[in-house]
Amino acid sequence: VVLEELYVKYRQLMFYVANEILDDTQLAEDAVQEAFIRIAKNMHKIDIANDLKTKAFVVTIVHNVALTMLKKENHYYDFSEYQDLIVDKQEVEKDVLDRLEVKSYISAIRKLPEKYRDILYLHCVQEYTISEISKLLQLSQEVVKKRIQRGRKKILKDIKKGT
Amino acid sequence: MDEKLLKEALHKVMEQDVEAIEEAMKNTSEHVFSNAFENEMEDFIRMSSKNYITIGKRTVRKASMIAVVAVMLIACVGFSPIGKTVWDYCVTVFQKETFGNISMGLGRAAYDGENVYFLANDVVYSYNVNSNELEELQLQDETPVRTSMFVQDEFIYYGSVGENSGLKRISKDGTTAEQVMDYEKGFQQIFIDEKNAYILESIEGALVVKDLQTGKEDELFSHVLSYFVDEEKVYVIARENDTPYLFVADKATLQFAKQELSFTPISIYVANEELYLAQQGDYQIVRINDGVEEKLPLYGTYYQVVDDKMIYLDSTTFFDSCFDLVFYDLKSGISEVICENVFDFALIDANYIYIQCDAIPDSKYYLYDYNDLKLIY
């Protein structure tokens, strides 16, 4: 019932997001389908009553599925996957920044590449674990972990720059 | 880093993005999905959502309830013959993982005091708890998907869905197999007692009571989320105008009294005249006693209660299709993790807990004593 509700409610939105990326209705339908399959496996974590959170979740998933499909279609290889695995040794100051306003964070998040933002969103807001995200987005746990670390560091650096 | 601020900011950014997408969508016409897509999604949703919902209910077979047995069935009627991604997914996940091997999921295990029976894809395994011998009873019919089972007298009953949807039985010696009841409409849950079959239909969640002698059918409710039947009463949770209600009636009269619920449940279990409902979303268990709702500090996708003790799969520990199996004393509030990485479990005859650890094909099976929670085998 819940999955059906999700499907009826969000399939147009999901299709729109996928089609914007893929620019191919057939591929976009495939992306919606694939996204639903992944969502179905995580139904236990979806609070259908929280419309905004659910909407953001389905958009995040279909967005990632479509991007992955686009890469495959274009035979495009994302070398940043490897960059993610390179340990950034630069230490980032933490404590000083803790009192900053949410606006600074929003601005920093806006500058983040989407792949970092989506994973951070799933991890911090939707409270998915690293292994759950790894399955959801079909990335290795190591990549997910590194993207979370690097995403955080990028946000902190940006905030620091602005102060 | 201020985690609270980060969380708030991420939430805000996502909210703004979704709003922007929706705004942009206003200038586009609605996409008409292809027939293939619609068909595949319909099949997928029917199958996966029913499977999901019925996780919270399974066969309960106490010694005192020999003739009253619950059977939980997944609705997966009417697969389209093709369908690449979705069909593959259904086959690999729901067929292989759920049906393709010994599994107690959704009530696929039963016990008759001597043997534990497990329903697999095309055989019934009969495991003798005294001699530790395992026998296979080959199923002869061509039904592609079989669901829950129970044992009564000399027969093992099992549900089947698909073209020959209905209730079938095979004799314990494996020599006789026959159709007991046809049900072409397909169903996701069925409960049989001496007189009636209570059938939750796949389509629109209609709850139908069918007289096993006369074949007469009466639709009791539509939009049913789940139901439970015990020796005396029928308990139904259903929506009316989007509001969830609990309906309770004596089996003899089927005159239902209704109570509005403050939350939407997805499953119901009744023990000692207390109702245990898992609420949609987070699976928090709510106990209802004399109409009073009380939220318990438990989150269970599937749970059973015997003698003031609950055992449940803890939804907060979900990982890789598995959960922690937790024992909770409803009187003292003491809880204990019985086993981690549990894919499924069956409480057999209120004496044994049969536990399936790790998802198929890597499952390992254990038998625990329900009374002292010690590993037997």
Structure-token pair, residue B225: 């989320």
pLDDT per residue as tens digits for the range A23-80: 888 889 989 988 888 887 777 677 766 778 888 889 999 988 888 888 766 544 343 4
Put simply, the answer to whether B22 touches A40 (Cβ < 8 Å) is no
Nearest to B9 among A4, A17, A102 (CB): A102
Nearest to A29 among B18, B34, B48 (CB): B34
Instruction: Say yes or no to pLDDT of B301 above 50.
Output: yes
Put simply, the answer to whether A98 touches B2 (Cβ < 8 Å) is yes
pTM of this structure: 0.49
The ipTM value here is 0.77
Put simply, the answer to whether B10 touches A124 (Cβ < 8 Å) is yes
pLDDT per residue as tens digits for the range B102-153: 333 344 566 677 777 776 656 777 877 677 677 888 776 655 455 556 677 7
Contact B59, A6 (CB under 8 A): no
**How far apart are the CA of B164 and the nearest CA of chain A, in angstroms?**
24
Put simply, the answer to whether A16 touches B31 (Cβ < 8 Å) is yes
Between the two ends of chain B, the Cα-to-Cα distance in Å is 49
Confidence band for A100, pLDDT divided at 50, 70 and 90: low
Put simply, the answer to whether A3 touches B33 (Cβ < 8 Å) is no
Lowest mean pLDDT among A131-140, B29-38, B93-102, B233-242: B93-102
**How far apart are the CA of A56 and the nearest CA of chain B, in angstroms?**
6
